[in-house]
Structures are given as structure tokens and as C-alpha cells.
Amino acid sequence: MPRSFRLVLAPLAAAVALSLAGCSSINATVGAGMGDLMPQWAGGLPANAPPRPGSPEYERFMQERERQRQLPASERDKETQSDSNAQAATPRR
């Protein structure tokens, strides 16, 4: 291989290696939260997805889930039906 070709190829290979390393570090940090920002039709989180652990809503979600778990099944079914009827009555934008 001619020496001039090596002088051009070495910086080019280093630039490619650095750009690939930069992409991998971005994907590791940004990729975890990207699903929160994407719409559902594009592969994001569904509308009924529970909150992520560590968020303020997560504690409330877990407390409500525990409260529903302790209810008798007959009362749980009534509550679920009333919630779904209330959601159906609210107008959507």
C-alpha cells in the first residue's frame, strides 16, 4: 500500500470509529426515554401503559393497584364498570 494512501486512510478510519462510538453512547442514554416521546402509532408506549418506576405517579399507581387488589371481586367489577362508563361519557378532543 502506498504511504500517501495510508496517511489518508488512517484519519478517515479514526473518524469513522469515533462517530460510531458516539452513536452507541447516545443510543444507550437517549433510547431508554425515546418511547415516552414517540406516539403510539410509531411504536411508542400505549395510552394505558403504567407509569415508570421512580416517577411520582408510580407510587400513586401502586397504591391504587393494592387498594383494588384488596377489594372483593364483586366490588372490583362494579368499580371497573363505573370507571369505563365515566370515561365513555367524557368527550374526547
pLDDT in tens, 64-87: 989 888 888 888 777 766 666 555
Give pTM, 2 decimals: 0.44
pLDDT at 62: 92
CA dihedral 47, 50, 53, 55 (to 10 degrees): 60
What's the rounded Cα separation, in Å, for the pair 75 and 83?
A: 12
Q: Tell me the pLDDT of the chain averaged across its residues.
A: 75
SS3 63: helix
pLDDT at 32: 64
Domain boundaries, the chain: 1-28, 53-84
Share of the chain above pLDDT 90, in %: 8
pLDDT at 73: 80
